[in-house]
């Protein structure tokens, strides 16, 4: 680090401040106000943020207006989350650390610098509070920021890390598109019955080959379903492997740390040294977090070797239904009528089994599975690639941020990965 320098964050930035400490009144239509808990996965999640009046918004921004390339830091409650503001912001902030960047380059450097392992350790040491953790604003202002004196080297380091992040983001967006296409196809086939309507008029849907279209009937029965189809329940469409689940306490997981994902009702909670399942499965929240705001269930499409606790049902498709078909179908089901419990929400096996589902012919089920399988195959590959890229980024980040690794060596590793 012979060609590096260190300065306080207050000097590295235009200023270091925080958001409002007041609690502006909620309104139905206005501008968003975010807090530390809305910084999730290095992004701003506005879905649960409330809105404030335009006058309150302007008042908050007189103290702490956020601009492009500023860096936000969660400093109260949820501490340590970082977000780089890449787009023109449409929100005001409350109890969030705000690093006002001098320009795009400084903002990106600070964004990555705050994520390096050594800096995280420093930030953790600055935490105070027992009931609610926080880092004082003065400590953020006095935080030491190290960076190369050569601006070209700074640009190269940021370029390396940004290339990895950009690839990860592109894969994520591609996966959103792949899932959307699969859902659109599912709705067309099994909700709107487009191929049946088209066949009744002597046409073939533009996205479908003639061979697949020929599998569909050309008329509807008295029950409103295509002829030969019927109504069933999910007990007809899936195999349930809940009996193989084994919950582990936090202390047990700490003793079993490993590489295999440990899933709960909504997400991967940890990694352990053994696995219970191996293959492609669908996890559906059983208790606790079981229903989203739109009424649909919490689902996780998972694969490989993993462990599951007793808060998620473990499912695979059966009787001609693929696991991917279950995912598409359940993603749009309103499960509110099947949820029990006032304090602890639950979807038990019996209620899950009686959720209705349209049962087409085995030929149609097979055709749909073959149609959407490539989308899910690509989705899995993208997620696995993102895991590899994220590991490489997290390995290189602290070394680049401290000058421990040469830029050229890091560039070669990224070229091999991308």
Residue 1: is its pLDDT beyond 60?
Answer: no
d(CA 147, CA 106): 10
Q: What would you report as the CA-atom Rg of the chain, rounded to the nearest whole angstrom? A: 26
- Three-state secondary structure call for residue 114: coil
Provide mean pLDDT across the span 108-118: 95
Q: Say if CB 114 and CB 80 are below 8 A apart.
A: no
Q: Are strands 82-84 and 312-317 parallel, antiparallel or unpaired?
A: unpaired
The whole-angstrom separation of Cα 365 and Cα 361 is: 6
Distance of CA 324 to the CA centre of its chain: 19
- Indicate whether 16 pLDDT > 90: yes
| CB 271, CB 262: distance < 8 Å | yes
Cα dist from 368 to 75, 164, 346, 360, whole Å: 48, 35, 31, 10
Round to whole Å and give the CA distance between 13 and 18: 13
List, in sequence order, every beta strand (DSSP E) within 249-297: 257-263, 268-272, 277-278, 281-285
DSSP letter string over 119-157? HHHHHHHT-B-SSS-B--HHHHHT-EEEEESSHHHHHHH
- What tens digit of pLDDT does each residue of 282-336 get? 999 999 889 998 999 999 999 999 999 999 999 999 999 999 999 999 999 999 9
Res 2: pLDDT: 58
206-253: pLDDT as tens digits: 889 999 999 999 999 999 999 999 999 999 999 999 999 999 999 999
pTM for this predicted structure: 0.88
Residue 291 DSSP one-character state: B
Q: What is the mean pLDDT of residues 147-163?
A: 94
Q: Can you tell me which residue has the tokens 């968003």?
A: 32
The strand pair at 39-40 and 82-84 is best described as unpaired
Contact indicator for 20, 93 with CB cutoff of 8 Å: yes
Q: Cα–Cα distance between 164 and 375 in angstroms, integer?
A: 23
The token duo for 341 is: 């419990």
pLDDT tens digit sequence for 122-147 = 999 999 998 899 999 999 999 999 99
Closest CA to 165 of 348, 253, 14, 41: 41
Quote the pLDDT of residue 3: 85
Whether the CB-CB separation of 352 and 338 falls below 8 Å is answered with: yes
The per-residue pLDDT for range 54-109, each reduced to its tens digit, is 999 999 999 899 999 999 999 999 899 999 999 999 999 999 999 999 999 999 99
| pLDDT tens digit sequence for 167-211 | 999 999 999 999 999 999 999 999 999 999 999 888 888 889 999
Q: What is the pLDDT of residues 250-263, one digit of tens each?
A: 999 999 999 999 99
8-state DSSP, 303: -
Domains and their CATH numbers in the chain: 4-149 (3.90.220.20), 172-378 (3.90.220.20)
């Amino acid at each position: 680090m012979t060609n590096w320098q260190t300065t306080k964050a207050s000097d590295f930035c235009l200023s270091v401040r925080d958001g409002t400490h007041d609690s502006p009144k909620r309104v139905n239509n206005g501008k968003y106000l975010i807090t530390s808990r809305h910084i999730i996965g290095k992004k701003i999640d506005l879905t649960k943020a409330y809105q404030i009046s335009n006058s309150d918004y302007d008042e908050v921004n007189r103290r702490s207006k956020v601009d492009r390339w500023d860096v936000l830091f969660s400093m109260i409650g949820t501490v340590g989350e970082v977000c780089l503001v890449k787009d023109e912001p449409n929100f005001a902030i409350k109890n969030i650390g705000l690093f006002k960047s001098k320009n795009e380059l400084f903002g990106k450097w600070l964004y990555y610098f705050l994520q390096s392992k050594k800096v995280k350790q420093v930030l953790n040491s600055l935490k105070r509070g027992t009931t609610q953790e926080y880092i004082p604003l003065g400590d953020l202002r006095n935080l030491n920021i190290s960076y190369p004196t050569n601006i070209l080297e700074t640009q190269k380091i940021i370029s390396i890390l940004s290339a990895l992040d950009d690839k990860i983001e592109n894969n994520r967006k591609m996966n959103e598109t792949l899932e959307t296409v699969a859902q659109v196809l599912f709705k067309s086939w099994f909700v709107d019955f487009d191929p049946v309507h088209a066949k009744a008029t002597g046409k073939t849907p533009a996205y479908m080959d003639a061979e697949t279209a020929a599998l569909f009937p050309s008329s509807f029965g008295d029950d409103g379903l295509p002829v030969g189809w019927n109504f069933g329940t999910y007990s007809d469409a899936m195999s349930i492997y809940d009996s193989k689940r084994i919950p582990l306490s936090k202390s047990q997981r700490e003793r079993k740390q490993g590489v295999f994902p440990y899933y709960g009702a909504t997400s991967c909670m940890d990694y352990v040294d053994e696995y219970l399942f191996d293959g492609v499965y669908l996890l559906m929240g059983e208790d606790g977090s079981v229903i989203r705001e739109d009424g649909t269930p919490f689902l996780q499409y998972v694969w490989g070797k993993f462990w599951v606790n007793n808060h998620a049902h473990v499912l695979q498709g059966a009787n001609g239904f693929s696991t991917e078909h279950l995912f598409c179908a359940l993603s749009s089901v309103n499960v509110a009528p099947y949820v029990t419990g006032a304090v602890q929400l639950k979807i038990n096996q019996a209620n899950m089994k009686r959720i209705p589902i349209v049962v087409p012919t085995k030929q149609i089920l097979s055709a749909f599975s073959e149609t959407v399988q490539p989308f899910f195959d690509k989705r899995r590959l993208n997620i696995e690639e993102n895991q590899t890229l994220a590991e490489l980024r997290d390995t290189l980040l602290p070394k680049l941020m401290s000058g421990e690794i040469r830029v050229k060596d890091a560039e070669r590793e990224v070229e091999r990965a991308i």
